[in-house]
Amino acid sequence: MDASAPPPRLRLTGITKRYASVVANSGIDLSVGPGEIHALLGENGAGKSTLVKIIYGVVHPDEGEIAWEGRPVRIADPNAARALGIGMVFQHFSLFESLTVAENIALGLGAREGIGELTARIEEISRRYGLAVEPSRHVHHLSVGERQRVEIVRCLLQAPRLLIMDEPTSVLTPQEAEGLFDVLRRLASEGCSVLYISHKLEEIKALCEAATVLRGGRVVGGCDPRTSSEQQMAELMIGGELPVAHRRAPLKEGRASLIVANLSLPADEPFGTHLRDVSLTLRDGEILGVAGVAGNGQKELLAVLSGERRAPAADAVRIADVAAGLMGPAARRRLGLAFIPEERLGRGAVAEFPLTENALLTSYQHGLVRAGMVRFGAVEAYARQIIARFGVVAAGTQAQGSSLSGGNMQKFIVGREVGTNPRVLLAAHPTWGVDIGAALAIRQALMDLAAAGSGVLVVSEDLAELFEISDYISVLSGGRLSPPRRTHETTVEEVGLLMGGRMAGAARQHEARGVVDAA
Amino acid sequence: MRLSLLPRERPARSMLWLSPVLAAVLSVIGVTILFAVLGRDPIEALRTLFITPLATMDGLTELGLKATPLLLCAVGIAIGVRADVWNIGAEGQFTLGAIFGTWVALNFGGAGHWWLIPAMLLAGIAGGVVWAGIPALLRTRFNAHEILTTLMLAYVSIQLLGYLVHGPWKDPEGYSFPQTRQFEADATLPVLVAGTRLHIGALFALLSVPLGSLLLGRTLMGFRIRTVGAAPAAARYAGFNRDAIVWFCLLVSGGLAGLAGICEIAGGNGQLTPVISPGYGFAAIIVAFLGRLNPIGILFASLLMALLYLGGEGLQVSMQLPIAVTGTIQGMLLFFLLAADVLVNYRPQLQVARRAGAVHHA
């Protein structure tokens, strides 16, 4: 950078942060120019979150310097960060469901102005940036995308000069994401810098003009995403060549192993989603992808399929030709069901149990118990087999669940569920928050299982993943499931429109019929 | 300034067992100070409390006698707590066990039936099971928490006992003392050591240790219990029926407490009186936690607690200290144990006050 150029908006030099057991950031240098959209890339655990928490004043670095517009600063807390002009939109929102948009924003700002005045300012900002937000609506009525817009408006009201976005599109439909990019580009053109955290490479290519890649707490490189290929960036992130998943051979039409017929189910918690007339058929050897933004009935659908919630009628859910709607999880597992749940520790596995007992958790019906006594020798062997087959990094079979990284715990859970040779496997967000290597292994395991003749139902927000592994794709939106499309006959755009709740053509007829049936 | 507790990243595993030892040592220090303040020679008092009861064969068998109900109740309580089921009313199930067993003894005693003792023991177990079944029903049907219901039923049981010994079961030849008739000889538990009071109930208590360990550590039921306690969502996901676990834990711990109750009567006084327990069922809660909810640990903890009871009686007799001293020591033991456990898992940090609202997570 030559001397006449303005100083960078933010410059980090040698930032280091150590925790008791790990070095989260080690000697990190980062520079974000005025009006630059800068990507911070890295796998889970690479140190991205720690770094942005340092910038936002939530965490204090052990070493290193932060310079803001050329001046060295110490950011004591988020208030100090906001006073400098740093705004942040977190991955998880902090909005009060029962308050209106304006009230939430007033709380967040600690504003002294009246709600009326604030409402006018909110409307002005939302008009200027095309962020559709209604100040008087209650937050619990808002979709996830709308909530994110509220958070963004909250930041913009403080006229930030650096906006940090932490994985902002993980909750958005493709169309909503495109809208967000327009807002960010607009902001950048007005001189606001953006630090954009993501591991979705296609987004970074589309949006960012510079990128810093972290791995293991260090900067391992930088690149211009507009000219680098996704392959190159991914290899920088994982520090090696990207393994390739093997697409299985196309299959013949198998027998139906899971049938859901006209299932409607009221939500069991406030702000939950009602399932409305959901029907689906999963056949042996087939992968059905259920796309959709989380919060559209995914949790409810999976609970009623796994048996954690009972269906209203036995016939509403059929597993392997048996009416299973009123059965509990154990009985459904006896019919050949297996389930990889969304939450790993606390549901899919028990944090304080060793891996042996975590292996036993769902496979106790598969010869590991005799006359009420656990056969710990066999359990140990099973755990060892899972660890070996899926390359789970753990300190042996007695390692506690909580000692594993998220990706390794997930590989263990996938291994355990696949290892029971299920006829039907349900997988909820199987690669969410998992590093690229583990994600590949997990997708491969799902495809291998289908190739061996099992039916696999994958619920995921990751469209790229669903398009890669699924034979059919349905979309869950507002508790309704769209009819399946053959994956190679549909497009991301079409699926995206369905995710936004617009059911086209046949789908709308289906919906109308559902209303009649329900009535 | 503000004192806050921050979770430790890695609590030391060794402290799991060291913290009860630490609590015991701190209690001894505390009680020593207490003796000094009360104007007694602390060394002499400590000797009376901890050494004298162990010095004679008689003392040792009395120790076993006192440890028996503590051990039986505590093993049951621990099984429940492992499933996050809190039976703190073992005292009530103990009392009902005594009442049910006594009914058998009063009605069928003296005829020399070979089945009398087994029937009394089974009746005792049934009494505890019935009394623990009520909270189980209330919990699984109406979601009423067992912490409240078991405790309330403990007080109900004491009223019931009072009614029986003052009313229908009062010994007509008892000079109007509130007590039942003495059990006949065939309704008295056989003793283990001739010339002492140590009865076969101690064997049942000892047996509960390996059986409890086996249940928790080796059986599928034990695995279910531990899963429900450690991660309820994982238990639901795995298909473990929580209600069934609640029933199982409450009935097992109730049965063990009921067995302890009838053994205490049939092996001791041989009659019901208005007060049949110096709070064994409540002290057993401390024993369960002191023993780390592990039957083997509970065995040692029950011996320590029994020693406190015995030594406390000694202090009353030889040093004219009030019976409240025993309760004070029990309280100290629990207090120090809980404090040690907190400090094992959290580290205290003194924070200097900052501007109001300084920490704000947007």
Tell me whether residues B234 and A346 touch, CB distance under 8 A.
yes
Residues in chain A: 519
* Chain A residues in contact with B356 (beta carbon < 8 A): none
Go through A223-258 and write b for each residue having 16 or more CB atoms within 10 A of its CB, e for each that does not: bebeebeeeebbbbbbeeeeeebeebeeeeeeeebb
Tell me whether residues A360 and B240 touch, CB distance under 8 A.
no
Residue B2 in any domain: the answer is no
Q: Is B279 helix (H, G, I), strand (E, B) or coil?
A: coil
Distance from CA of B134 to the nearest CA of A (A): 26
Q: Is A400 helix (H, G, I), strand (E, B) or coil?
A: strand
Tell me whether residues B236 and A362 touch, CB distance under 8 A.
no
What is the per-residue DSSP string for B74-89?
A: HHHHHHHHHTT-----
**Which one-letter amino acid corresponds to residue A303?**
A
Q: Are A473 and A485 in contact (CB under 8 A)?
A: yes
Residues in chain B: 362
The whole domain housing B111 covers 68-283
A337-340 and A424-428 strand pairing: parallel
Q: How far apart are CA A288 and CA A281, in angstroms?
A: 9
Residue A362 at interface with chain B, using a CB cutoff of 8 Å: yes
Tell me whether residues A77 and B359 touch, CB distance under 8 A.
yes
Nearest to B225 by CA among B292, B293, B291, B290: B293
Q: Which residues pair with A349 in a beta bridge?
A: A345
Residue A189 at interface with chain B, using a CB cutoff of 8 Å: no
Q: Which helix (H) or strand (E) holds A327?
A: none
CA angle centred on A414, ends A399 and A174, rounded to 5°: 125
* Chain B residues in contact with A348 (beta carbon < 8 A): 234, 237
Query: Domains (ranges, CATH) in chain A?
Result: 10-238 (3.40.50.300), 256-336+422-518 (3.40.50.300)
Q: Are A169 and A39 in contact (CB under 8 A)?
A: no
Which segments of chain A have a pLDDT < 70? 1-4, 20-21, 110-111, 171, 241-252, 501-519
Which residues have CB under 8 Å from A191's CB, separation 6+?
A: A34, A35, A161
Nearest to A464 by CA among A485, A482, A443, A447: A443
Residue B213 at interface with chain A, using a CB cutoff of 8 Å: no
Tell me what pLDDT residue A244 has: 58
Q: How far apart are CA B107 and CA B101, in angstroms?
A: 10
Burial class of B151 by CB neighbour count within 10 A (0 to 12, 13 to 18, 19+): middle
Tell me whether residues B234 and A349 touch, CB distance under 8 A.
yes
B179 phi/psi in degrees, rounded to 5: -160, 160
Helix (DSSP H) and strand (DSSP E) numbers for chain A = 17, 23
Establish, for the pair of chains A and B, how many residue pairs have beta carbons separated by less than 8 Å: 92
Residue A331 at interface with chain B, using a CB cutoff of 8 Å: yes
Distance from CA of A329 to the nearest CA of B (A): 5
Residue B362 at interface with chain A, using a CB cutoff of 8 Å: yes
Please name the residue of chain A whose CA is at the shortest distance from the CA of residue B357. Answer: A79
pLDDT tens, position by position, B281-319: 999 999 999 999 999 999 999 999 999 999 988 988 888
Does B352 score more than 90 pLDDT? no
Tell me whether residues B362 and A357 touch, CB distance under 8 A.
no
**Testing the interface with A: which of B6, B225, B237 to mutate, by most A Cβ within 10 A?**
B237
* Chain B residues in contact with A305 (beta carbon < 8 A): none
Q: How far apart are CA B208 and CA B287, in angstroms?
A: 14
Tokens 């049907």 belong to residue:
B141
Q: Which helix (H) or strand (E) holds B129?
A: helix B116-142
**Testing the interface with A: which of B6, B16, B214, B220 to mutate, by most A Cβ within 10 A?**
B220
E runs forming strands in A351-432:
369-370, 373-374, 424-428
Please name the residue of chain B whose CA is at the shortest distance from the CA of residue A376. Answer: B218
Q: How far apart are CA B135 and CA B150, in angstroms?
A: 6
Residue B155 in any domain: the answer is yes
Residue B12 at interface with chain A, using a CB cutoff of 8 Å: no
Distance from CA of A369 to the nearest CA of B (A): 7
DSSP structural state of residue B355: S
E runs forming strands in A429-503:
455-459, 472-477, 480-481, 485-486
Q: Give Cα separations from B173 to A130, A168, B109, B168 (angstroms).
A: 95, 85, 17, 13
This model of the complex carries an ipTM of: 0.86
* Chain A residues in contact with B10 (beta carbon < 8 A): 20-21
A423 phi/psi in degrees, rounded to 5: -80, -35
DSSP structural state of residue B175: T
Q: How far apart are CA A68 and CA A156, in angstroms?
A: 19
Tell me whether residues B237 and A374 touch, CB distance under 8 A.
no
Residue B349 in any domain: the answer is no
**Which one-letter amino acid corresponds to residue B325?**
V
Tell me what pLDDT residue B254 has: 98
Q: What is the number of structural domains in chain B?
A: 1
CA angle centred on A394, ends A287 and A16, rounded to 5°: 105
Q: Is A262 helix (H, G, I), strand (E, B) or coil?
A: strand
* Chain A residues in contact with B13 (beta carbon < 8 A): none
Q: How far apart are CA A157 and CA A131, in angstroms?
A: 12
Q: How far apart are CA B91 and CA B95, in angstroms?
A: 6
Q: How far apart are CA B360 and CA A417, in angstroms?
A: 41
Nearest to B309 by CA among B43, B61, B53, B75: B53
Q: Which helix (H) or strand (E) holds B307?
A: helix B295-319
Token representation of residue B125: 């177990």
Tell me whether residues B218 and A330 touch, CB distance under 8 A.
no
Q: How far apart are CA A470 and CA A493, in angstroms?
A: 16
Tell me what pLDDT residue A95 has: 85
Tell me whether residues B238 and A330 touch, CB distance under 8 A.
yes
Tell me what pLDDT residue A248 has: 54
Q: Which helix (H) or strand (E) holds A214?
A: strand A210-215
Residue A373 at interface with chain B, using a CB cutoff of 8 Å: yes
Nearest to B22 by CA among B299, B327, B292, B280: B292
Which residues have CB under 8 Å from B358's CB, separation 6+?
A: A76, A77, A79
Residue A109 at interface with chain B, using a CB cutoff of 8 Å: no
Q: Which residues pair with A214 in a beta bridge?
A: A219
Does B105 score more than 60 pLDDT? yes
Residue B156 in any domain: the answer is yes
Does B341 score more than 80 pLDDT? yes
pLDDT tens, position by position, B109-137: 889 899 999 999 999 999 999 999 999 99
Provide the chain A residues 166-185 that lie in CB contact (below 8 A) with chain B. Answer: none
Tell me what pLDDT residue A231 has: 80
CA angle centred on A102, ends A97 and A106, rounded to 5°: 95
Closest to A346 (Cβ–Cβ): which among B221, B231, B360? B231
pLDDT-derived band at B262, boundaries 50, 70, 90: very high
Residue B338 in any domain: the answer is no
